[in-house]
Chain A
Amino acid sequence: MWQIIKNEWQFLGRSRMLLGISFAFLLILVLAVFLGSQQKQKQSEAYQTAQKHLRQQWENIDAMNPHSAAHYGTYVFKPTSLLSSLDEGVNSITGNVLRVEGHVQNEIVHSEASQMQAISKFGKLKSSLLLQYIVPLLLIFLAFHSVSSEKQSGRLKLLVLQGAKPFQLVLAKTLSVWVYGIALLAVVVLVYGLMNLQYLNGEVLGRTAFFFLSYALYYFVVSGLTVFFSARWQNATVALTSMLGIWILWTVFLPNMLMSSVEKWHPLPSRNEFQAAMKEDRSKGIDGHNPSDERGKALEKATLAKYGVDSISQLEINFDGLRMQADEEYGNQVWDKHFGNLREVLGKQKQTYQIGGLLNPFISLQNASMGFTGSDNLHHQAFLVQVEHYRRGFIKTLNDEHAFGGSKTGDWGWKANNDFFKSVPDYQYQPAALATVLPNYIYDLGLLFFWAIGISFFLFFGAKKMSIA
């Protein structure tokens, strides 16, 4: 079998056209990695400048009432993950700026896509675009006449008479084409690694390894299926057109159709409905700004009892701060409930879409690719949750200062000093660890393995039934 693979490679190596295409494509691949890194670097710079600017503004607050500071708030900018230069995923669609303030959980806004007219429906020239769409096409072009040409030239008979088993033959043909895909993939990963040498760590390497594995499995599926068709049909053109048809279905047609359907099967509420429901639930809690609010009064009573005093004016602390915090905590519960529901629906959509991988391994590849590069919706949602947790801590710090910082109830003119504001921690993005997110993509990887094994069976049984004449 190794001899057949070696022969195939010698044959491919002699094709000037293939060498030319490969060289040109390698250049595009390297360019894509380079441009991806460039964009990532520019984005990171912009992110750091903006974050620094906002932090400076916060730290420059000389003196301000803590609750006014809660309204003044701060902003969090969505950071880009290192691997997003390989696969941008949903990053250009989702917003980049999230206002962190009291009473309100804002939505992330100002996405890249909203700042210009439409350009590319399939995303930017990232490595993922080339690896997902173009490399499989190259593999198809390499493999579609691999067996049929042997049949047409009569070499197949000779090879079989010389003792080669048909399965060995088709497997060798598959592997020789697959190795070509792996070589291109390896170039991408290597160039990417070299360009980001200083940032490489266990986490990045682990994610890259799974990224590599996902593509390697998909390439095996594509190579194997094309060789299978080449063996099945006498006419190479039929093999090519069949595979092109499958490529169109897998990469262009089905993902779009399935994704649109999934959102219909598990509908998300309209923003208007969602906000109305949140507002209604929110109205059942304490209104931090309304002293005559009934629930506020109950809290007041409980606080007076706790501190053993008769009136707010006797309290050593500022009750306004406590009321604001109670308002926040109720708001947090409302947020957890509604956004929890939203995430649940998004989760169901994701799971249903992942099942689509049974019909279409491209879906599994896309999911795994975005997942391992940390640019899918799950990572985006994790970021939003992280910011919300930061917001809660941030507002609580301000409310606590309001309540226990030395002011008395109703003293809205009281101001915390600059030291306090400097002491409020800034938002620090914690990238999700591979170990925690891996279970989300086991299904995708499993399906890719399933397809690879399935294709091996196809090749095995296909080779048995292959006509040698």
Chain B
Amino acid sequence: MKGFNIFLYEWKHFIRSPFKVVALLLFVLAGVYGLHNGASLYNEQMANLEKIKERSEQDRQQYISYYEEGKKGPDNRPWIDMTTPFWSIWYSNTYHFKTPSPAMVYSIGQAEQYGFYKRVTFRASPYDPDMTNEIANPERLQTGTLDFAFALVFLLPLLLLILLYNIKGMETEQGFMPLIEVQTASKSNWLLSRVTFYGALVFGVIMLLLAYGAMLTGVFALASQAFGQMVLLALFYLLFWLVIYSVILVKGKSILGNTLTMVGVWLLFAFIIPATVHQWVSIEKPTNLMTDFIDATRDERIELYEQSDSVIMAQLKAMFPEIKNSPVAQDSIKKKVAMSESTTALFNELMKKSIAKVEEEHQERNTLVASTFWFNPVSFFQNRFNYVAQTHFANYQEYRAQIQQLIDQQIKVLVQDVWNGVEVDKDRYLEYGDKIANID
């Protein structure tokens, strides 16, 4: 009861300290601003996807009209024959999107470093140049967007610092700590009640901000689980800093000493440790300049296509045993065209091998980063927030994996239909849309 009274009275201490009130307001301002930045990116991406879908649909309708009008393709491109599976699938206009989670409102994370839409063709790869980021000012990306996660990860400890810095230190310096000790009997309860008040106040503010953010992008309706996860993560992060600062307050004796120690700890966790880890990882695992990938897309590809027909055919049969007895395989003229159109499957395998190496290296780099989390909590929480908002590296890795899966599916359908000598009509074209646009 006594502790609860102290807790309630802390409101008066807080409200009479303009410095603390302004700090809280600034934090709220930064939080709201960050949420709007997140919501703005979410809306931008959604609008972008809508436009792409719209344009893609227009193109599809154009392609469908060729079938309806009995044409083989556009008049100015006579080599295109959309009655063949090759061209029909090429123009199936399959897009795969990394539809942003409404939880992006909370953390933009790495969303601006990657593409979020991709036209998937049987010649595509998840590492194509169009998988690069949106057009953005690199200096802004480097400075980092002020999103809600930034406010939470970096400004929250500063806010707590400002709210807590003079607790106990002020009473000690002013000389009335003994009076407090005599009155309250338990100094630690008194300190804990006061710290708990600010913890509760800040947590309340965070909850309100999270709820406000949820309303901006419809988190409650579309990603309610993410809201719960954000609340929990924010609570753990808040507790992490509260514990650290409380220890400093318990051990410290002066405002100055406490403030300097708190700033020092903040600098250590927010700047020095992540920066050192970043530097170390860069030296241990320098940026992959993707030369293996380049080799696969150029020289190895040329070598692949320069192989004799018999070698190519043997490789195709190993991959797709069903083509051995297919109708086209029995026709030597058609067989040559089919082989040429199916070689992309072999190229895809080549690319996958090269991508596997790249991704293995990415994985090693990420494992290295993750191995530092036990002493690098700020980076840990930052990445957890990104993960909940689905803007983490892993989310984009998953997106790339889905693209690869779609490519594989497309190639499978292509090879089957090419070797079965399928003549594509409108219905078949529409079927392609279903077969290759959705992941099995």
Contact = CB atoms under 8 A, between A and B. Distances in A.
Interface stretch (B44-52, B227-235, B349-357): B44-52
Interface size class on chain A is 35 or more
A358 interface: no
Interface string B47-59: 0100110010000
A92 B121 CA distance: 30
Interface in A349-407: 349-350, 353, 370, 376-377, 380
B211 interface: no
Interface stretch (A196-204, A223-231, A254-262, A460-468): A254-262
A110 B289 contact: yes
Contacts of B274: 119-122
A437 to B, nearest CB: 15
B289 A96 contact: yes
A264 B146 CA distance: 13
Interface string B131-149: 1111111111111111000
Contacts of B337: none
A353 B138 CA distance: 13
Interface stretch (B1-9, B152-160, B189-197, B240-248): B152-160
A95 B132 contact: yes
Contacts of B276: 125
A263 interface: yes
A93 B133 CA distance: 10
Contact of A114 (B114, B166, B361): B114
A292 to B, nearest CB: 7
Given A125-B278, A263-B137, A109 B129 contact: yes
A116 B142 contact: no
B366 to A, nearest CB: 5
A27 interface: no
Contacts of B165: 241
A259 B143 contact: yes
B139 A54 contact: no
Interface size class on chain B is 35 or more
Contact of A47 (B129, B166, B289): B289
B139 A90 contact: yes
B275 interface: yes
Interface in B281-313: 281-283, 285-291, 294-295, 298-299, 302
Interface in B377-416: 379, 382-383, 386, 392-394
Interface of B: 19, 23, 26, 30, 33, 37, 40, 44, 48, 51-52, 55, 76-78, 109-110, 113-115, 117, 129, 131-146, 150, 153-155, 158, 162, 165-166, 255-256, 259-260, 263, 267, 270-272, 274-283, 285-291, 294-295, 298-299, 302, 361-362, 365-366, 369-370, 376, 379, 382-383, 386, 392-394
7 contacts: A43-B287, A57-B295, A89-B142, A93-B113, A119-B278, A263-B136, A290-B77
Interface of A: 28, 32, 35-36, 38-39, 42-43, 46-47, 49-50, 53-54, 57, 72-73, 75, 77, 89-90, 92-97, 99, 106-126, 129, 133-134, 137, 141, 236-237, 240-241, 244-245, 248, 252-253, 255-257, 259-260, 262-264, 268-274, 276, 290, 292-293, 342, 346, 349-350, 353, 370, 376-377, 380
